[in-house]
Amino acid sequence: MKRAIFPGTFDPFTIGHYSIVNRGLELFDEIVIGIGSNQSKKTLFSVEKRMEMIRQAFENEPRVKIESYNSLTVDFAEKVNARFILRGLRSVGDFEYERTIGDTNHILTGIETVILCTYSTYAHISSTVARDLISYGKDITGFLPPNVKL
């Protein structure tokens, strides 16, 4: 069984994240979405709320599991018996960051990172912009997966 984790902050989980997971399901039998809950990182949405939103998005997809973790990402992968880390790429800016982390994780544990380039329709979608829009009272339905309500 090929299992991958899709780790991230998901504050909030966007349609860009949703697309990466759906495409990942073509490659892996099961994907565990891991909500990193680093204590020092201040988030707009609580872990519980982020979990609920992701649950809504995948309520008809039993191959997607959702967990939160506050350890090193590779330790989380090991804990859930995943041999792959799935990540998404929007831009060259993302690339350098993902490459460094992916290399480090591989050197530490041999785990492989699989990176999918986003479809250009979603390249502008980011949790940061979604949070900014929310702070100005704007509707961000277009940034969210279908069926997800804030």
CB of 75 to ligand ADP, least distance (A): 15
Residue 41 burial (C-beta neighbours within 10 Å; 0-12, 13-18, 19+): exposed
C-beta of residue 143 within 8 angstroms of C-beta of residue 134: no
Among 17, 30, 43, 69, binds ligand ADP (CB under 6 A): 17
Q: Which of 24, 31, 84, 88 binds ligand ADP (CB under 6 A)?
A: 88
- Is 17 catalytic? The answer is yes
127 binds ligand ADP (CB under 6 A): yes
Q: Of these residues, 90, 106, 126, 131, which one is catalytic?
A: 90
Q: Reduced to 3 states, what is the DSSP secondary structure of residue 83? A: coil
- Minimal distance in Å, beta carbon 86 to ligand ADP? 8
At residue 115, φ and ψ (nearest 5 deg) are -110, 125
Stretch touching ligand ADP by CB under 6 A, among 48-56, 63-71, 85-93, 104-112 = 85-93
Q: Is 87 in the site for ligand ADP (CB under 6 A)?
A: yes
Q: Count the Cβ atoms, other than its own, within 10 Å of residue 97.
A: 11
Active site residue 49: no
Q: Which CA distances in Å does 45 have to 49, 54, 99, 106?
A: 6, 12, 28, 31
Contact footprint for ligand ADP (CB under 6 A): 8-10, 14, 16-17, 20, 87-90, 94, 118, 122, 125-127
